[in-house]
Structure 1
């Protein structure tokens, strides 16, 4: 009978799934091959059999979390709705896994980034955007998605322990409402909206504004 080796007992999927759990719990700094080895109850060599280094592991974890976004089907839908679906899929993924934002902004997950930008770009092209403007339109959408989704996730992490979103926004809304009316007329006017707005609705409204601009520029 053949001897079963350490790397035979593992699979790449199991390693990636465990890495995602560790990233969700402690962020990128909490993921080391030593900690991963301890969690999987194996040696680092068995892990290196499946992934060459941490960058490859982070890229694989990012791709796994974004799998549904990356393989979306645009058949029987408008380019605008396809872009909204991509955007909301990324928003929800970053909201649930905040470390993804940093990965998509860097080179470690270049494969995932390229595929998402390609999907957005194809939809921009399908909307009839002139060739000279497609890069700018797709870049604006991608940057908005990463920026707003990442900021939303950062806000969630920054809240004090035991303080709810409603309490945090309520306090900030009250501060806006009490600002000097002559110096801050806009902020006072929208203070009530800040206190009870839906983050996904606000995010999608921004996407729709960009899409409307693309429509005008065609």
Structure 2
């Protein structure tokens, strides 16, 4: 791609492709320039720095999430879809959670997501600080699962490279009866199937818990709100 045809949108789009394949550490202006058939200096001219490029890419991917109108669908249907779509988006872009945990990411894409998150739980009946915490709880669930996925993938890679690690893990689990029982019960079951079932169980539990709070079972009065912070990603407190 000739240098004179480059623009920021094109650079961010290709940066997302590189991030998806190699993560934040694998992204460099040299690799990006090579992919775009342009000099690395042109990348800096358009986006300023690698850090700023990661921020732009992170904000861009938030726009992939479909937003259902909670008034038309009901808050629980909209909340379920939002959590599921957010998790799917994070799985497509596993570098996103590390990015928003490292950089100050806030732009139109994230703001759109945050605003809709508040609309969903406001439609449910949450107000004030309870609204903040309902939004944060749902996102924390997604972020936690994303970290779990990363840990599982790392463990699978490590055990594939060193099979004795699996033997050692079984030996340790054998010392603890409940852990041993569950390890043996789940052995041989497809990992993706287990993760899907676990995600569905957790999501139902979160939504059931939020619904219970709407019935008056507890409050969060007196807990500080984070709604006005500059990088107030639902569920990630800086």
Q: Into which bin does the TM-score normalised by the smaller protein fall?
A: 0.7 to 0.9
What is the CA-CA distance between 1:205 and the residue it aligns to?
A: 1.9
Establish whether residue 137 from structure 1 lines up as the match of residue 134 from structure 2.
Answer: yes
Taking the aligned partners of 2:35 and 2:13, their CA distance within structure 1 comes to 12
Residue 98 of structure 1 is matched in structure 2 by 94
Residue 68 of structure 2 is matched in structure 1 by 73
Residue 58 of structure 1 is matched in structure 2 by 54
What is the CA-CA distance between 1:14 and the residue it aligns to?
A: 2.3
Taking the aligned partners of 2:207 and 2:149, their CA distance within structure 1 comes to 21
Taking the aligned partners of 2:69 and 2:194, their CA distance within structure 1 comes to 26
Residue 127 of structure 1 is matched in structure 2 by 124
Taking the aligned partners of 2:188 and 2:69, their CA distance within structure 1 comes to 35
Q: Residues 185 and 161 from structure 1, CA distance in 2 versus in 1: closer, same or farther, beyond 3 angstroms?
A: closer
User: Does the aligned pair in 2 maintain the 1:124–1:137 contact within 8 Å?
Assistant: yes
Q: 101-110 or 24-33, which moves further after superposition? A: 101-110
Taking the aligned partners of 1:146 and 1:56, their CA distance within structure 2 comes to 22
What is the CA-CA distance between 1:185 and the residue it aligns to?
A: 3.3
1:32 equivalent among 6, 28, 31: 28
What is the CA-CA distance between 1:187 and the residue it aligns to?
A: 6.0
User: Does the aligned pair in 2 maintain the 1:94–1:153 contact within 8 Å?
Assistant: no
User: Does the aligned pair in 2 maintain the 1:19–1:36 contact within 8 Å?
Assistant: yes
| Offset from partner CA, 1:95-132 (integer Å, 9 cap, x none) | 22211111233444223444433322221111112433
User: Does the aligned pair in 1 maintain the 2:69–2:78 contact within 8 Å?
Assistant: yes
RMSD over aligned Cα atoms? 3.1
Residue 160 of structure 1 is matched in structure 2 by 157
Structure 1 unaligned blocks of 5 or more:
none
Q: Residues 204 and 55 from structure 1, CA distance in 2 versus in 1: closer, same or farther, beyond 3 angstroms?
A: farther
What is the CA-CA distance between 1:195 and the residue it aligns to?
A: 5.0
Structure 2 unaligned blocks of 5 or more:
215-238
SS of 2:157's partner is coil
Residue 146 of structure 1 is matched in structure 2 by 143
Q: Residues 16 and 192 from structure 1, CA distance in 2 versus in 1: closer, same or farther, beyond 3 angstroms?
A: same
- The normalised TM-score by structure 2 is 0.70
Establish whether residue 192 from structure 1 lines up as the match of residue 201 from structure 2.
Answer: no
For 1:191-210, list aligned pairs within 5 A: 191-193=184-186, 195-196=188-189, 197-210=193-206
Taking the aligned partners of 1:187 and 1:210, their CA distance within structure 2 comes to 28
User: Does the aligned pair in 2 maintain the 1:98–1:150 contact within 8 Å?
Assistant: no
Q: Count how many residue pairs are aligned between Structure 1 and Structure 2.
A: 203
